[in-house]
Amino acid sequence: MESAMQYIGGAFEPGFGQRTGPVYNPATGDVAYQLHYADRATLDRLCEIAGPAGREWGNQSHARRIQVIFKMRELVIRDTEILAELIGRENGKTLDDAKGEIGRGLEALEFAAAEPHVTKGEFTRNVGGNIDMFSFRQPVGIVACISPFNFPVMVPLAMTAMAVATGNAVILKPSERVPGAAAHLSKLWAEAGLPAGVWNVVNGDAEIVDAILEHPAIAAISFVGSTRVGEYVYQKGTSHNKRVASFTGGKNHMIVLPDADLDQAASAFVSAGFGAAGQRCMAISVCVVVGEETADKLRERIVAQTAKLRVGPYDMKGADYGPVVTAAAQKTVNDAIERAVTEGGELVVDGRDLQVEGHEAGFFCGPSLVDRVTMDMQLWQEEIFGPVRAIMRAQDLDEAIAIVNAHEYGNGAAIFTRSGYASQRFANEVEAGMLGVNVPIPIPVGYHNFGGLRRSKFGEAHMFGPDAARFYTKMKTVSHRWPEPESVDEGLSMSFPSNS
């Protein structure tokens, strides 16, 4: 089975590793198949293939590389249904949600087609002494991309499209929970005309991640995942002199002011909070409402909207969201709800013990809502990757902004208001990397940079946008002078060069 294999040098194979791990169907709780885990010997052989393949690919013309990017876009569109099915079976998200993810992944390919423009160098004529100076960018070599379970197509494409377009060889390490989409993307890259060895996939857990972080042939690493692992990846990767861009956790707040359209705010909170079973790093997990009266009115609307949500398997018509990814994730959500109640939260909607007919063993969690959450509660302090959401109450905008900025994460935040003054203060003062004004999930489009602040990102690079091209390339600056024929030698000069 191709999804269970590594993809190395243009072919699927198990690799040298002896370990395997289960891939589940979250809707049923059944093991779909056993995934072969790669080991260090597998990675060594892969890098021996990827190195020469990448150098040859990097020397291809921009036109040749962009032809492959254009073709890959066409193929992803053609196979959207297949990819969505793979995402649904292994991740659990609904088919509509999966197709939305694929659409955002296409943006990364579309922006990668602009690679010749965003990697253009600079030129200055006669900086002094008849010396011309120019700079240009080259691929860094072999790059590794470690992607999460919650976006099996969007994040791998966001990580790798520009890496391929700029002429690097790529090693993708997808989440061991959702390897199927990565396997299918491998076939599409080959069909698009990408030479064998330029795109590769290795599967596994912490063992292969450590091998990637330590391997001397790998020049750069892009990571998306939890803060605990992401910080480790950044520190260990940089200690081995690699470029590392590590995108980590989020606890995204949505401030609602009394002048907001409360119906719109309630719909936005429910959609952004419970979509994909709350398993999005940019999901709204905390609603900070200014004023008790506003909070009561908004809560009533949120409860009414939440009651309409339908939870079911990924292919159930009309399902709003599916299961969480594992039984362990299901337990984490239920434990968080129990602790929130113990710590004094008001459980307004209880989604525990949800049973989906015909899928009783699936990893389902109904939507849960806890009101009167405070900053000393776990539900505010920690990222709970599941469909449990919090309401906090603030006296004014100052307190609301202070709550947002007190959190260690700064991935995204939103405000719902009709006040230009309030939105301007929010944009200027909130310490988060991606902000929305009356927009609940402010994920930038593919030609703008994606990334959080504080402990939501380690390293200075961004995903998407022009920063992706800079991350996957190195710059060289050349000073050159061509003396006139038969010019006179000016002799020795021991002074430091000056362009005056």
Residue 263 shares a structural domain with residue 209: no
Q: List, in sequence order, every beta strand (DSSP E) within 375-484.
A: 388-394, 409-410, 412-416, 434-437, 453-454, 457-458, 473-480
Residue 71 inside a domain? The answer is: yes
Q: Is residue 308 domain-shared with residue 292, that is, in the same domain?
A: yes
Q: What is the mean pLDDT of residues 312-333?
A: 95
Do 48 and 189 lie in one domain? The reply is: yes
The residues annotated as belonging to the active site are 281
Q: Give 420's contacts (C-beta < 8 A, 6+ positions apart).
A: none
Q: What is the pLDDT of residues 46-98, one digit of tens each?
A: 999 999 999 999 999 999 999 999 999 999 999 999 999 999 999 999 999 99
Q: What rounded mean pLDDT belongs to the chain? A: 93
CATH number reported for the structural domain that contains residue 237 in this entry: 3.40.605.10
Phi, psi of 427 (to 5 degrees): -65, -35
Q: Are residues 73 and 117 both part of a single domain?
A: yes
* Residue 326 and residue 401 in one domain: yes
pLDDT confidence of 360, banded at 50, 70, 90? Answer: very high
Check whether 381 has a pLDDT greater than 80.
yes
Share of the chain above pLDDT 70, in %: 98
Is residue 495 included in any domain, yes or no?
no
State how many domains the chain has.
2
In a domain, 124, yes or no: yes
Whether residues 33 and 164 share a domain: the answer is yes
Does residue 484 lie within any of the structural domains? no
Question: For residue 488, what pLDDT is reported?
Answer: 66
Q: Are residues 14 and 62 in the same domain?
A: yes
* Residue 143 belongs to a domain: yes
DSSP string, 62-81: HHHHHHHHHHHHHHHHHTHH
Mean pLDDT for 329-348 is 96
pTM: 0.92
Statement: residue 485 has pLDDT above 90:
no
Residues 203 and 260 in one domain: no
Could you give the angle at the alpha carbon of 397 between the alpha carbons of 276 and 262, nearest 5°? Answer: 50
Say if residue 487's pLDDT is above 80.
Answer: no
Residues 150 and 54 in one domain: yes
- Clarify whether residues 264 and 377 are in a common domain: yes
User: Does residue 50 belong to any structural domain of this protein?
Assistant: yes
Instruction: Indicate whether 229 and 308 sit together in one domain.
Output: no
CATH of the domain at 282: 3.40.309.10
Q: Which domain holds residue 244?
A: 2-248+456-478
Whether residue 131 is contained in a domain is answered as yes
CA dist 368 → 94, 149, 331, 355, 390 (Å): 19, 22, 14, 14, 9
Q: What DSSP element (H or E) covers 232?
A: helix 227-239
In a domain, 341, yes or no: yes
Q: Do 127 and 196 fall within a single domain?
A: yes
